[in-house]
Amino acid sequence: MDLLTAAALILVTCLSCLTVLSTWRQMHRKSQMPPGPTPLPFIGNLLQVNTSDMYHSLMKIREKYGPVYTIHLGPRRVVVLCGYDAVKEALVDQAEEFGGRGELAVFNWLFRGYGVFLSNGERAKQLRRFSITTLRNFGVGKRSFEEQILEETHFLLESLRATKSEPFDPTFVLSRSVSNIISSITFGNRFEYEDHEFLFLLRAILETFEFASTSWGQLYDMFSGIMQHLPGPQDKTFKKLLGLKEFIMKKVKANKETLDPNNPRDFIDCFLVKMQQEEENPNSEFFLENLIMTTINVFFGGTETVSTTLRYGILLLLKYPEIEEKIHKEIEHVIGLNRIPNMDDRPLMPYTDAVIHEIQRFSDLVPTGVVRCVTRDTQFWGYTIPKGTEVFPVLGSVLRDPKHFARPDVFDPQHFLDDNGQFRKNKAFIPFSVGKRYCFGEHLARMELFLILTSILQNVRFKSPIPPETINISPMLVGFAALPHFYEMCAIPL
Ligand code: HEM
Ligand SMILES: *[C@@H]1O[C@H](CO)[C@@H](O)[C@H](O)[C@H]1NC(C)=O
């Protein structure tokens, strides 16, 4: 062996060692991520999940890898958090780190990172603060706002009476009323129930929610990079979403033309005023695109969530008439039949309160939570999660955490009652999520659920046109949202 060959051999050996070392290092760094199923190139762990039921797919993988694991949904790498401990320790105890918003392609197709819901950093902070302040300025959380909800409930009761005890599908009856409550803030007025434009908007919102919960919607969330360039069932939904955007743009234009900065009429006006105030600030987040998208976020968020919860709730009461009966008794006892309910009644009505909590727990509106991301390299449970990694706080796994609920899969108001029939709080009740980005519509939503449900049950009794035993209370779709099957009901005057 001459010297040159020996030198070459040594060099090759050294290089190989270095390569092995660096690969090992890389693998070691990867193993600092929570464990999870081995991904295939491009499709990731697609073969291990059922896109028609992501929630249960994620729960199955948890059995093997524990409550904190990593999954690859197509090209997305996501850390999944299951159960109360993991979700709380991340979202609350490390609120700053887990306070980012991940990518939600089905919605981001429209929002493109603008608006309060799908933004990050300074933008999210500014828009969130503005939205919360503005809702409060319009009375949300105050006494006066109860009246606004009750006024709308009055119209809802009228349309229930108009059904004359005949079977009807409650979907739009409920969403019209719920939507009008948030409309009074975003647009300064309510819509007539038969207004065609209004019904178009409500349909667009429901369909978007539905699409996001179908198998296609889940696939779109994984492969939006390609699917956004291909035709598919998303086109129909997206076209309707554009209609929603056009509607808001029209409203903004009209508001602009009649704006009186000293007398803002609605959310849009307040935003326009803020835009004027920050005109000189080149870094201002208060510009047209954020105005449009934030208004859609609040209008959308304030519509479908509460109305789907009510629709699911009424279905559960149709299934369990004995539970409904106990609410009627409590209403009779605490409120009577001659005066309208108010929020002071709630602490005196532990059973009704427990049923409403149980409806939210059982119906589990957003089963896998709204995707978050970590805002910096994050240490969690002994793992290192790199900045920007997406996170699913699986809310359904908290609402059904067997450590906190005796019979997680059963609809049972006892989950929120103590032995004396008094209301019992449960810290694992987090349908609105927790931490930096928790739902700031929570207070409004809970007021609406209580006032609308008690007002309805003070006036009518629900009756199912089919035998309660045959009612299917499992969800029709489980994806971004969990949605109940459509059904018919009768409202019998008391
Ligand atoms: C039953 C009713 C509702 C449920 C179950 C619900 C649930 C949620 C959940 C789980 C999130 C994600 C929070 C997170 O990432 O931690 C959220 C965010 C949000 N919700 Fe709600 N929500 C409801 C009602 C409302 C209402 C009435 C409004 C109207 C004001 C609203 C507006 C929003 C907005 C704007 C966000 C985005 C917040 C952010 O990204 O910072 N929601 N909601
Ligand atoms: C996927 O989930 C849906 C809805 O739960 C179910 O009907 C279907 O059979 C499941 N598919 C597979 C392959 O497990």
Contact call for residues 269 and 137 (beta carbons, < 8 A)? no
Any idea which ligand is nearest the CA of 476? 2
Whether residue 15 is predicted with pLDDT greater than 80 in this model: the reply is: no
81 membership: H or E segment, kind and range: strand 76-81
Ligand 1 center to residue 491 CA distance, Å? Answer: 30
Residue 162 makes CB contacts below 8 A (sequence gap 6+) with none
Return the percentage of the chain with pLDDT > 70, whole number: 94
For residue 468, give the DSSP letter. G
Instruction: Share the mean pLDDT of the chain.
Output: 93
**CB of 431 closer than 6 A to ligand 1?**
yes
Average pLDDT over residues 287-309: 96
For residue 168, give the DSSP letter. B
pLDDT at 1: 59
Average pLDDT over residues 364-392: 97
pLDDT at 142: 85
At 338 the three-state DSSP class reads coil
What residues does 478 pair with on adjacent strands?
53, 482
**pLDDT confidence tier of residue 488, bands split at 50, 70 and 90:** very high
Residue located nearest, by CA, to atom 19 of ligand 1: 439
Per residue in 438-472, pLDDT tens? 999 999 999 999 999 999 999 999 999 999 999 99
Candidates 130, 432, 437: which one to mutate for ligand 1, based on the most atoms within 8 Å of Cβ? 432
Please list every protein residue whose CB sits less than 6 Å from any atom of ligand 2. 50, 52-53
Whether residue 147 is predicted with pLDDT greater than 50 in this model: the reply is: yes
Residue located nearest, by CA, to atom 5 of ligand 2: 53
**CB of 90 closer than 6 A to ligand 1?**
no
Candidates 292, 439, 451: which one to mutate for ligand 1, based on the most atoms within 8 Å of Cβ? 439
**pLDDT confidence tier of residue 8, bands split at 50, 70 and 90:** low
Whether residue 369 is predicted with pLDDT greater than 60 in this model: the reply is: yes
pLDDT at 23: 45
Residue located nearest, by CA, to atom 12 of ligand 2: 50
CA-CA-CA-CA dihedral for 221, 224, 226, 231, to nearest 10:
90
**CB of 87 closer than 6 A to ligand 1?**
no
pLDDT at 144: 83
Average pLDDT over residues 277-282: 94
**CB of 462 closer than 6 A to ligand 1?**
no
Higher local confidence (pLDDT), 16 or 143: 143
Query: What pTM value is reported for the model?
Result: 0.93
Whether residue 412 is predicted with pLDDT greater than 80 in this model: the reply is: yes
The atom of ligand 2 lying closest to the CA of 50 is: 1
pLDDT at 18: 47
Per residue in 171-203, pLDDT tens? 999 999 999 999 999 999 999 999 999 999 999
Residue located nearest, by CA, to atom 16 of ligand 1: 438
Q: How far is CA 163 from CA 118, 130, 170, 176, 489, in A?
A: 40, 41, 10, 15, 10
What residues does 482 pair with on adjacent strands?
478
201 membership: H or E segment, kind and range: helix 196-211
Per residue in 29-85, pLDDT tens? 555 999 999 999 999 999 999 999 999 999 999 999 999 999 999 999 999 999 999
Any idea which ligand is nearest the CA of 474? 2
**pLDDT confidence tier of residue 24, bands split at 50, 70 and 90:** very low
Ligand 1 center to residue 125 CA distance, Å? Answer: 15
* 54/477 Cα distance (integer angstroms): 10
**pLDDT confidence tier of residue 19, bands split at 50, 70 and 90:** very low
Strand 390-393 and strand 76-81: the pairing is: parallel
Residue located nearest, by CA, to atom 6 of ligand 2: 52
Greatest Cα-to-Cα distance within the chain, rounded to the nearest angstrom: 107
